[in-house]
Copies of this chain bind each other. A is one copy, B any other.
Amino acid sequence: MPPRDRPISHSTISRRRFLQTASAVVACAGAGRATFGAAPAAAAETPGAADEPLAARLGIASYTFRLFNLDATLAMTKRLGVKYLCLKSSHLPLNAKPEAIRAAVEKIKKQGLVFYGAGAIAMQNQAQIDEAFEYARQAGLKIMVIAPTAKTLPEIERKVKQYDVRVAIHNHGPGDRHFPTPESVYEKIKNMDPRMGLCVDVGHTVRQGDDVYAALEACRDRIYDVHMKDVTAANVQGQTTVLGRGVMDMPRLFRTIQKIRYSGVLAFEYESEGRDPLPSVAQSVGYARGMLAALNA
C-alpha cells in the first residue's frame, strides 16, 4: 500500500466553512486551525499539508516529463529536490493492471517520493470515471486532477463519496469550453461535496485573461492542487515559460498563495522543450524556493 498519512474523512468540512463556524463558536476559540471538534478542516488534510511549510510542498506534474519513462521521471524529480509527484497516464496508464500499479507505487516510494495524485484525467463519460476511480483506489491516491464536463459532475460527486478521494478540476484556459477559469469550476462545485475542488492552473488562467490573483482568493476554500508555471503572454498565444520570465507578477502570486493559506502541493508543470525540460523546470523550482525563502514561507 502507498503511504497515506491520514485518511480523508467523510466529515471533511471546507476551510471557509470551518472559519465561518469557528468564528461563531466563541467557546472553541482556542482550537487550532487543523481540527475542529471531531471534524478536521479540509486544509489540514490536503496532501502534504501536515505542518510542512510551502517550500517543502513542491511537486512535479509528470506531464512535464511525458517523453520520458517512469524511471527517468523519478530520477529528474529527485534532482529537483521535490518530493511530490502527480503522475500523468503516460507514466502509469489508467488501465494498468493492479500488479503494475502496485509496482509503480513501490518504485516511487523507494525513491523517497510521494505519489500524491494523478492527472489530468479526462472524466467525460462513465467509462472514464469508473476506470479513474478504480485506478485511484488501487494507487492509494489522495487526489485526482481531472477534466470533466458540467454533465459528468454529479456522477463524479457520487464516486467521490463512494471512494473518498478528492478531485481537483483543472482549468485549461482558452479552448477549454468546459472549464477555462478557476471561477468557472468554482461556480459549478461550490455547493457539491467538499471533496470536489480545483486544480488552479495559473498559466491557463492568465492565458484566459482572467485575474489569477483574484481567482485564487475567490476559490480559496476549494483549491486542492496548483499547476505552477509562467506564461509568455496573457492571451491564447501565451506559452509556458520559466517562472519569472513571463508576464505574471510572481511576487504577487506567491504572496496570494501565502495569504489564502493554501495547504496543498505547488506542482510544476512545464509544457515546452519536451525533449529536454529539466534545465528549465529546474529554474522554475529554484525560483520558487528563492522566493519562498525570501517570504519566509
Contacts and interface: CB of A to CB of B under 8 A. Distances in A.
A292 to B, nearest CB: 8
A219 interface: no
B79 A280 contact: yes
Contacts of A285: 283, 286
A245 B290 CA distance: 11
A76 B80 CA distance: 18
Nearest to A254: B294
Contacts of A251: 293-294, 296
A280 B78 CA distance: 11
A80 B290 contact: no
B286 A244 contact: yes
Given A81-B245, A244-B293, A293-B251, A283 B286 contact: yes
A97 to B, nearest CB: 33
Contacts of A283: 80-81, 282-283, 285-286, 289
Contact of A282 (B81, B279, B289, B292): B279
Contacts of A279: 76, 79-80, 278-279, 282
A287 interface: yes
A153 interface: no
A49 interface: no
A280 B279 CA distance: 8
A291 interface: yes
Interface string A66-81: 0000000000100111
A91 to B, nearest CB: 19
Interface string A268-282: 000000000011101
A244 to B, nearest CB: 5
A58 to B, nearest CB: 11
A243 interface: yes
Nearest to A292: B290
A289 B289 contact: no
A65 to B, nearest CB: 12
Given A81-B245, A242-B81, A290 B286 contact: yes
18 contacts: A80-B283, A81-B242, A81-B283, A243-B286, A244-B286, A244-B289, A244-B290, A244-B293, A251-B294, A278-B279, A282-B282, A282-B283, A282-B286, A283-B286, A284-B286, A286-B288, A289-B290, A290-B294
Interface of A: 76, 79-81, 242-245, 250-251, 254, 278-280, 282-296
